[in-house]
Amino acid sequence: MNGSRAVEVSRVEPRQPDRKTIDAAVALACRAPSVHNTQPWRWRVGDRSAHLYADASRRLPATDPTGTDLLLSCGAALHHLRIALAGLGWRAIVHRLPNPAEPDHLAAVEFARHEPTEAEIALAAAIPRRRTDRRHYSSWRVPDTVTALLEERAAAEDAVLCRVTGSHPRSALAVATGQAAAWQAADPGYRWELSTWSGRHADAEGVPAVSAPAGLPRHGDVQLREFPGGELFDEPSGEWEEDGALLLVLAAASEDRLSTLRAGEAMSAVLLEATCAGLATCPLSQPLEVATTRDRVRDEVLDGLLSPRIVLRVGWAAFGAEPLPPTPRRPLGNVVEELENA
């Protein structure tokens, strides 16, 4: 009897993940995309919970005067954590903005046992494979069925994913992007931030030269942000080949902190689902970082009905394009603090 009881006890599943599991999930969460790869998050981790904080010291005031990019980045990290935990057999119980007196405390996450689905395992496996690909895409079109799935993933995170179709909305977005780039380029503070956070080779933060195209990347009517010191070779396979990237605006019902955090989670959901489908992706925040151009996108692309949070470029990588290397991340020891009795 005692022997059989010992066997039964040994088969009882743990009620909380061990520290190696939590650290593995947080490491995957830190693979989330962030503005200029600033990785503006901090984690406080204990035995029973993990807490996400915004790292205000990493905010870019000239690039991101409203703090929207920072919150979106942290929201993406939060969703990455949720997916990583699910893939490892744990459900994340998320309490967003849990402490009004501490605005940088963005989420408290508790754990519960969970049987991962095939879709969750696939999404977790997509985290280390996702890249921000700023290169020319092929002329192949994204199937409507895949786009509809991306829209569903955004809706599940309380956001709206809007396709930019038709000549006027695309033209309005293109004009807004060009105007934002010109106005930012005239700002010495913006130029300093851009040079500080780009062209890096061996650092664990910033946009490395190998991930940024040389010169001004422009694909059809879409202009991307130019990062100084870019070394990424990007030449279409033929001048005749049109860039067939799909442009999507991820929008929210309001501009409050919770909506923006949730929009960051939706961004992560869309990017990971697109990666699972074999698509290349690139978030474009520049047209929304300037108030005037952000209003233009809201009024002329979204008909004034929603608040644009981020633009996403999605398509098939050009034929023969070399896989991009992973963008460096800071060591866990630099972003994780111990939380006692949690």
Residue 303's beta-bridge partner residues? none
d(CA 128, CA 90): 19
Any domain includes 321: no
Gyration radius (Cα) of the chain, Å: 21
Any domain includes 46: yes
- Report pLDDT for 202: 61
Residues 158 and 279 in one domain: yes
Any domain includes 336: no
Any domain includes 220: yes
Please count the other Cβ atoms lying within 10 Å of the Cβ belonging to residue 179.
Answer: 16
* Domain that residue 287 falls in: 144-315
Q: Which of 289, 266, 310, 283 is nearest to 33 (CA)?
A: 283
Residues 27 and 94 in one domain: yes
Residues 85 and 165 in one domain: no
Question: Which residues in the chain land under pLDDT 50?
Answer: 1, 3-10, 342
Q: How far, CA to CA in Å, does 82 sit from each of 3, 113, 120, 333?
A: 38, 13, 10, 20
- Report pLDDT for 234: 81
Residues 124 and 242 in one domain: no
Residues 298 and 238 in one domain: yes
Q: Into how many domains does the chain fold?
A: 2
- Which of 96, 130, 164 is the endpoint of a domain? 130
Any domain includes 136: no
Any domain includes 330: no
- Report pLDDT for 11: 56
Any domain includes 193: yes
Residues 104 and 170 in one domain: no
Any domain includes 197: yes
The CATH number covering residue 204 comes to 3.40.109.10
DSSP symbol at 165: -
- Chain Cα centroid distance, residue 155: 16
- Report pLDDT for 1: 45
Residues 200 and 287 in one domain: yes
Residues 54 and 161 in one domain: no
Residues 51 and 116 in one domain: yes
Residues 114 and 148 in one domain: no
Residues 41 and 156 in one domain: no
Residues 149 and 126 in one domain: no
